[in-house]
Structure 1
Amino acid sequence: MEDSRVLEFYNGISGMRYSLIKAGVDAQVVEAFDINDTTNDVYDHNFGHRPFQGNIQSLTAADLDNYRAHARLLSPPCQPYTRQDALQPPLILFVENVVGFETSDTHEKMIEILTTTGFATQEFILSPLQFGVPYARPRYFCLFLEFNEDTNFENGEFNLRDVSIVSSEIVDAPTENDARSGCSVSPEDQYFVPLSLIERWKSAMGNCFSSHSSKVIIFEKN
């Protein structure tokens, strides 16, 4: 069986592709799409392939079908999605966006369309804090799988949940926080930030902000 073929939309500096690599997924990214010169320069440097650079609204369903992709990864701007009819819908969709998207009209429409066209869905709000990284950046994630009798999410009862944890809780009790984050299997030690690094910076905490933020605290030290 051939490796899964993947399209990466709004590729940025290739975070989604690196996630596939780190997860050990047998997948081939057959094309990436982004309109930004700088991020495409970085992507080209990292992988030796320059993404399609242009407005994806110019792409037709037939254009996308030509890639014969099984999965599509999206990390779009905090704006409503464009929509194109698909002749051959993918088997998997993975969407990332800002917290707050899950309460938007666009989100409601997205879920409605994809569930009525035969996708099973599971949604999460996750932050690096839940994985031992002292960085506060909660994000919305949604996984869509083509529904059939074999479709089964390992933890189907877990859905959107507001998780509020501080880094010390993760360092002191990772197993407890695995349960709070909906993970059924404890992450391996290799995925945690080394304790020596955390102790070095004590309670320092990184926060994510944008140009629209009116007031931010970047670092706080005792």
Structure 2
Amino acid sequence: MRAIEFYCGIGGFAAAVGDTPLKVVAAWDQNPLGIETYRVNFPDHYACSRNLEHLKLKELSALNANFWWLSPPCQPFSVRGRRRDLEDPRTASFRRLLELLTDLAPNRRPVGIGLENVAGFVGSAMHQLLCRRLEELGFELWQGELCPTQFGYPMRRPRFYLLASRTGLADVPIPKSQRLCPLRQFLQPENGLLPRELYLPQQVLDRFADGLRLLDPSDDKAVTTCFTSSYGRTLMHSGAFLKTPGGIRRFAPEEVCRLLGFPDGFRFPENLTLRQRWKLVGNSLAVPVVRSVLQRFAPLAGNVPG
């Protein structure tokens, strides 16, 4: 099956697809650094930096994709933002995709569509518009909130997921919380080779230590808070920190990738700074959660690893 990855970022959907029958035929994102990272890790996929507001019907129809995955900007719906919803210009590309979906010839429309966004998306005008349009076009919908902790990953990142299908939905139980893997399994060794930029200077600790979420890697019950795109730029409400023999430090971007379920071989272009890498992973997907959502798509039932 042919899939398009809209708002692809660094390739969370591509990592989740793996060896399933889905083949990514196009991956688009407006962030060129995300596309650069995507190409390093998925060199066989066509990935391009572009503004989806200007996507043409003819171009989309020619791809003849069976499945779409969308992770549109969350800022218009985030509880920490202004929540301007449809009035936010960052929803323009999302609205454009819905227009294109409607305008496509019936035999050129995808049979399945998946979406990820923040919990604040639920009940928004954009959410209502999406569901109404999908139902008008004959899609059956599943919607729910899932978190990596339900899959054994020690990171809280609750997100809203939607799966729409014109070929039926498989009955997949929502996973219950299970025993978490120890946080230390996702961390790089404290061997003196980690970048010094990860460690917080004493003057910062003297001022902000009481407001930081500090985790002990030896604690089997340690769970990180959600990492946001501002991690590395702001200290508060952007992610957790580690207590290590070398001092209090931030999580390395590669460690956040592991917590998101990316494979060990995932890497960043060497020219990217730490802050650029943190921003990219803060906008990415939890790979095992996406796999779980894809299991609900009837044509893939039994062909997506858990």
Smaller-chain TM-score bracket: 0.7 to 0.9
Match among 114, 123, 148 for residue 94 of structure 1:
114
Specify every segment of 5 or more residues in structure 2 that has no aligned partner in the other structure, as ranges. Answer: 77-90, 187-216, 244-306
2: distance between equivalents of 1:9 and 1:52? 10
Match among 198, 218, 221 for residue 240 of structure 2:
218
SS in 1 for 2:49: coil
TM score, norm. by length of structure 1: 0.72
Q: 1:136-151 alignment to 2 at 5 Å?
A: 136-147=156-167, 151=168
Match among 4, 9, 22 for residue 27 of structure 1:
22
Q: What is the root-mean-square deviation of aligned Cα atoms in Å?
A: 2.9
Q: Evaluate the alpha carbon distance shift between residue 69 and residue 219 of structure 1 in structure 2; reply closer, same or farther with a 3 A threshold.
A: same
TM score, norm. by length of structure 2: 0.54
Q: 1:56-75 alignment to 2 at 5 Å?
A: 56-75=52-71
SS in 2 for 1:52: strand
2: distance between equivalents of 1:193 and 1:214? 26
Q: Evaluate the alpha carbon distance shift between residue 204 and residue 219 of structure 1 in structure 2; reply closer, same or farther with a 3 A threshold.
A: farther
Matching residue of 1:121: 141
Specify every segment of 5 or more residues in structure 1 that has no aligned partner in the other structure, as ranges. Answer: 172-191
Question: For residue 162 of structure 2, what is the amino acid of its counterpart?
Answer: C
Matched, 1:8 2:5: yes
Shift of 1:116: 1.3
Question: For residue 221 of structure 2, what is the amino acid of its counterpart?
Answer: S
Give the total of aligned pairs.
184
Q: Evaluate the alpha carbon distance shift between residue 214 and residue 44 of structure 1 in structure 2; reply closer, same or farther with a 3 A threshold.
A: closer
Matching residue of 2:32: 37
State whether residues 143 and 161 of structure 2, in contact with CA within 8 Å, keep that contact through their aligned partners in structure 1.
yes
Matching residue of 2:126: 106
Question: For residue 144 of structure 1, what is the amino acid of its counterpart?
Answer: A
2: distance between equivalents of 1:152 and 1:208? 30
SS in 2 for 1:203: coil
State whether residues 70 and 114 of structure 2, in contact with CA within 8 Å, keep that contact through their aligned partners in structure 1.
yes
SS in 1 for 2:178: helix
Identity rate, percent: 30
Matching residue of 1:183: none
SS in 1 for 2:34: helix
Q: Evaluate the alpha carbon distance shift between residue 38 and residue 201 of structure 1 in structure 2; reply closer, same or farther with a 3 A threshold.
A: farther
Shift of 1:196: 7.9
State whether residues 5 and 29 of structure 1, in contact with CA within 8 Å, keep that contact through their aligned partners in structure 2.
yes
Which one is further off, 55-64 or 110-119? 55-64
Structure 1 outlier segments of 4+, above 6 Å = none
SS in 2 for 1:124: strand
Matching residue of 1:193: 181
Which one is further off, 195-204 or 94-103? 195-204
Please state which structure has a larger fraction of its residues in helix: 2
Shift of 1:82: 2.3
Question: For residue 6 of structure 2, what is the amino acid of its counterpart?
Answer: F
Matching residue of 2:222: 204
